[in-house]
């Protein structure tokens, strides 16, 4: 831009993550609203556009396209970019002065002031002639019109010349052919990754196929695990997550309850990956063959369930990598390979890679091939074990490399660590993340935490997958607790976020801990477990109704639509979700007391619902399947340990030709 024309400033571009270093996240089919502050000295009329293109996968790469930005107020501009398909997009902003509209605006002011505008008309003629030349190869009709009016402005001034010069239609045509050499482009090309829908809306069920026989003695197979699929489908889960399915090391194998000495017949921890039978690209022989695994994947798909695999980049001491590539591992000064530690914990059955060592290029390439190997075997979702103990650079590289080829692949970060580290993992590319929900028990802390992670700017890159339990974690609030605790925690997990999961046994209210620890007694991590699905206290029906409500009502499938509302009881949490178009709205009240009934006066957000204070509307309580009519902002609710949550789908009435109907 020349000094004569001054400068266009483009500032405060949103959304933008760490000055464009990382991509923000959206879902394919959504749109991306882009905002910026755009201004210039003086009184020029400005034009601004958002430039965007899809860059991966390669087969769907597009040329640059533009959408207009609209001036809102106080130099704020806004526009919408469509994200029709799964993949990575680039976007930036460009703005320039609209010379002809600026000229026309000034011309009218001078005419209104009674000034001689002969010279100004000649300036306008030059602007139109320049636009006509630029339009020549684009639109012959536009070029002809611009040239004709420009020529008329060079003749002696006449009233009709002024009318033509100030015509809105002429300004529209001239603006279609601007002098873009005057444009200023934002310094950064930003990225957005559009995930498939499952990234935002999924219910995970974790179970160990080796316990599929359910007798605690016989090692299960993939064929045995297939028999679980109808049950998992009935519970309403659409993702089944399997812990590592690879051969388990024999060196330093752990025994039952994490004892250091394994007895004959002890199956060991599946996270101690690798033995003589193979490593990360092999299947534990007792689970079956690759054909059996593929049959399990296909059977799951037939039940509407996707299979997620554990991605644990660590090795047992007898993993083939240790023998074939000792340079990939960390060694002590005495030459021995370091075992994994998280003091005071030590994992004698696991050794770690030397992530940033001299052999990192070959190591990283091999680990990428592990992911692509399982993608080729039908896996599109990975739960990543302890990613916070590996370099961020590695994950940024790996996830991008994989998603550039297969943009439908999802990565769940299993990182219970410091807040900034968890968020950084989201920034470098992880699709979803475990959260602190597991330990958030009280009204204010639940509200504060969920507001943080479900609203921008955090929600632009971090999707919290809420788990009330995992094989590693039996939180204190579930230890030796009654069914009321399990019901309320699963109600919170499944409705506060649109992605949630649980580890099998939860539906049986399994809560026997290792004394003094947040760990399961007789943990399935180290032994086969005999699950008794007929034991008293089973809450499978409650879980099934929650997941059914999620599937039926799109509001519960929204991650960023969460809003909290007031109740007069500190032990009752009240919140709601709605779709962006307002066609689905659900209000949720959950008791935080697992032992006693709680009553509360709920203050219904009438304006948020779009309901007038005097208007009657219908609600359908989904857990008890009861309908009622509400009017006004205050509603009384009673929740019990047997029914600790109420989910209200909200319907408003509308007049039809002959009667009243209602709509969500």
The residues that are catalytic are: 385, 414
Across 251-385, the runs of DSSP E, i.e. the strands, are: 306-311, 339-342, 345-351, 381-385
> Cα(60)–Cα(56) distance, rounded to whole angstroms?
6
Measured from the Cβ of residue 169, the count of other Cβ atoms closer than 10 Å reads 9
Is 390 one of the annotated binding-site residues? no
> Cα(473)–Cα(484) distance, rounded to whole angstroms?
19
Structure tokens at 540: 């499978």
Structure tokens at 582: 């307002």
CB 349 within 8 A of CB 251: yes
> Cα(647)–Cα(207) distance, rounded to whole angstroms?
28
Is 314 one of the annotated binding-site residues? yes
| Residue 282 backbone class (left: φ over 0; alpha: ψ -120 to 50; beta: rest) | beta
Beta-ladder partners of 190 = 91
436: Cβ contacts below 8 Å, ≥ 6 apart: 416, 419, 449
- What's 356's DSSP letter? T
CA atoms within 13 A on the CB side of 286: 16
Is 662 one of the annotated binding-site residues? no
What phi and psi values does residue 167 have, to the nearest 5 degrees? -65, 130
> Cα(558)–Cα(607) distance, rounded to whole angstroms?
20
> Cα(221)–Cα(561) distance, rounded to whole angstroms?
41
Task: State the distance between the two ends of the chain, measured CA to CA, in whole angstroms.
Answer: 53
Element housing 635 (H / E):
strand 634-639
Range 217-220 contact pairs with CB under 8 angstroms and sequence separation of 24 or more: 217/528, 217/530, 218/528, 219/267, 219/286, 219/287, 219/528, 220/287, 220/528
Structure tokens at 578: 């709605």
Is 231 one of the annotated binding-site residues? no
CB 616 within 8 A of CB 629: yes
Is 526 one of the annotated binding-site residues? yes
Is 636 one of the annotated binding-site residues? no
Dmax (CA) of the chain: 107
- Feature table: binding site for alpha-maltose 1-phosphate: 254, 314, 349, 386, 525-526
């Amino acid at each position: 831009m020349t000094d004569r024309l001054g400068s266009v400033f483009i500032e405060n571009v949103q959304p933008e993550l760490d000055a464009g270093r990382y991509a923000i996240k959206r879902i394919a089919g959504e749109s991306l609203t882009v905002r910026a502050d755009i201004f210039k000295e003086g009184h020029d009329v400005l034009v601004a556009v958002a430039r965007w293109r899809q860059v991966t996968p390669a087969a769907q790469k597009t040329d640059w396209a533009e959408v207009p930005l609209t001036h809102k107020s106080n130099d704020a501009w806004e526009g919408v970019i469509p994200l029709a398909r799964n993949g990575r997009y680039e976007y930036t902003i460009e703005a320039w002065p609209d010379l002809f509209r600026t000229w026309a605006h000034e011309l009218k002011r001078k005419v209104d002031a009674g000034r001689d505008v002969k010279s100004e008309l000649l300036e306008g003629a030059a602007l139109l002639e320049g636009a006509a030349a630029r339009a020549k190869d684009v639109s012959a009709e536009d070029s002809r019109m611009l040239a004709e009016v420009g020529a008329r402005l060079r003749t002696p001034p006449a009233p009709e010349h002024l009318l033509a010069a100030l015509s809105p239609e002429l300004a529209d045509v001239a603006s279609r052919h601007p002098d873009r050499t005057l444009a200023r482009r934002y310094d950064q090309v930003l990225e957005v990754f559009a995930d498939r829908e499952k990234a935002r809306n999924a219910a995970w069920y974790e179970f160990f196929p080796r316990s599929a026989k359910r007798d605690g003695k016989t090692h299960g197979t993939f064929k045995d695990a297939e028999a679980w699929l109808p049950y998992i489908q009935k519970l309403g889960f659409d993702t089944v997550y399997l812990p590592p399915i690879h051969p388990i090391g024999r060196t330093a194998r752990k025994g039952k309850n994490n004892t250091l000495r394994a007895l004959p017949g002890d199956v060991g921890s599946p996270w101690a990956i690798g033995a003589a039978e193979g490593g990360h690209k092999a299947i534990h022989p007792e689970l079956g063959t690759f054909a059996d695994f593929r049959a399990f994947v296909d059977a799951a798909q037939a039940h509407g369930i996707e299979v997620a695999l554990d991605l644990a980049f660590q090795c047992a001491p007898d993993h083939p990598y240790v023998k074939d590539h000792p340079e990939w591992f960390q060694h002590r000064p005495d030459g021995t390979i370091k075992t994994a530690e998280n003091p005071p914990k030590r994992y004698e059955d696991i050794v770690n890679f030397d992530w940033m060592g001299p052999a990192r290029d070959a190591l990283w390439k091999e680990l990428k091939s592990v992911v692509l190997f399982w993608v080729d075997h039908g896996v599109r979702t990975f739960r990543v074990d302890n990613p916070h103990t590996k370099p961020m650079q590695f994950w940024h590289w790996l996830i991008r490399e994989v998603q550039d080829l297969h943009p439908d692949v999802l990565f769940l970060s299993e990182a219970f660590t410091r807040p900034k580290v968890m968020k950084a993992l989201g920034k470098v590319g992880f699709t979803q993340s475990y959260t602190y929900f597991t330990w958030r028990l009280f009204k204010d802390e639940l509200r504060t935490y969920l507001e943080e992670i479900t609203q921008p700017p955090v929600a632009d890159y971090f999707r919290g997958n809420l788990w009330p339990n995992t094989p590693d974690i039996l939180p204190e609030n579930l230890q030796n607790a009654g069914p009321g605790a399990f019901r309320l925690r699963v109600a919170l997990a499944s409705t506060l976020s649109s992605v949630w999961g649980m580890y099998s046994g939860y539906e049986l209210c399994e809560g026997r801990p290792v004394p003094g620890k947040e760990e399961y007694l007789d943990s399935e991590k180290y032994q086969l477990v005999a699950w008794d699905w007929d034991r008293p206290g089973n809450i499978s029906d409650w879980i099934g109704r929650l997941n059914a409500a999620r599937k039926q009502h799109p509001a519960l499938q929204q991650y960023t639509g969460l809003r909290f509302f007031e109740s007069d009881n500190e032990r009752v949490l009240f919140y709601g979700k709605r779709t962006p178009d307002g066609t689905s709205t659900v209000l949720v009240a959950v008791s935080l007391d697992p032992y006693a009934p709680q009553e509360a006066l709920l203050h219904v957000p009438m304006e948020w619902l779009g309901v007038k204070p005097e208007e009657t509307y219908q609600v359908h309580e989904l857990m008890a399947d009861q309908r009622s009519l509400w009017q006004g902002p205050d509603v009384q609710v009673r929740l019990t340990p047997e029914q600790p949550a109420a989910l209200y789908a909200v319907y408003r009435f509308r007049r039809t030709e002959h009667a009243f109907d209602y709509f969500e």
